[in-house]
Amino acid sequence: MIDESRRDPTFVSKYGPWVLVSGASEGTGAELATLAAAKGCNVVLVARRLNKLDALATVLRDRFGVEVVAHSLDLTVVDGAARLQACAGGLDLGLVVFNAGGDSVGGPFLAKPYSEWRQLLQRNIDMLTEACHRFATAFVAQGRGGIVIIGSEAAFQGTGRLALYSATKGYALNLGESLWRELKPKGVDVLNVLIGATDTPKLRTVFERNNLSPDAVPLTLAEDVARVALDHLGDGPTVVLDALDNDDNPMLSRRLRRERVVNHSEFLNHFYGPE
């Protein structure tokens, strides 16, 4: 039986009928794709591991009665942005979610040759920037759409052993907030979702490798990341999810602070002329 309990025609009309999710094979990406399908959107799944994407695609089709296509793609390649856009070629796309951005290198900055860092920079800066330009151009032309950038709280400060990861997340945060300011008046929503430690298969593997219990630190649930990202897409520029927060609504309070920061920086515009 098809589950129609969470269908959201308003969401589909604004951000559908097709949604593209990169890094969709598991964890937050899979949850984002699942929630988009639950709302009634067709989904383009993109990641490197096609077998996992195919398995998820079958579940989404059977459970929600939507169309799903899956593409294997390594986003660290030089033409990754063009290939990502091609994954949605011919489809009426209304939303793209950038979820592929973890640090698969890690370690001290000088412990590895620079060539090993370049792939992370290619994906987290060059690919992200070009892909945002490509998709935003299409969304502005059609007068609607959305961009979600799943980031990290590492964007707020440098982090030992994660120098380039935290640097690229800071770049993505500023890019997303700037695009929010520019694109919102054109009918396109942009949202940064910054997450702390999140309960994903990848993080559990890290815990296991280091003989740590998954209960060692509070973890944000991947489904909560998906819910906040899609349910608050119009509430940019930035939301922050952290299981360590104890305020009644830290996400909302932080969002409002980021909105004020971005809007109050508008005095810089006189250096560059009118929008």
For the four alpha carbons of 182, 184, 186 and 190, in that order, the dihedral sign comes to: positive
Q: Which of 14, 169, 186, 202 is catalytic?
A: 169
- Asked whether 66 and 60 are in contact (CB, 8 A), the reply is yes
Question: What end-to-end distance do the CA atoms of the chain give, in Å?
Answer: 50
Q: Is 169 a catalytic residue?
A: yes
How many other C-beta atoms lie within 10 A of the C-beta of residue 206?
13
Is residue 186 flagged as an active site residue? Answer: no
Catalytic residue among 15, 39, 52, 165: 165
Token digits of residue 126: 């060059």
Q: Which residues are catalytic?
A: 165, 169
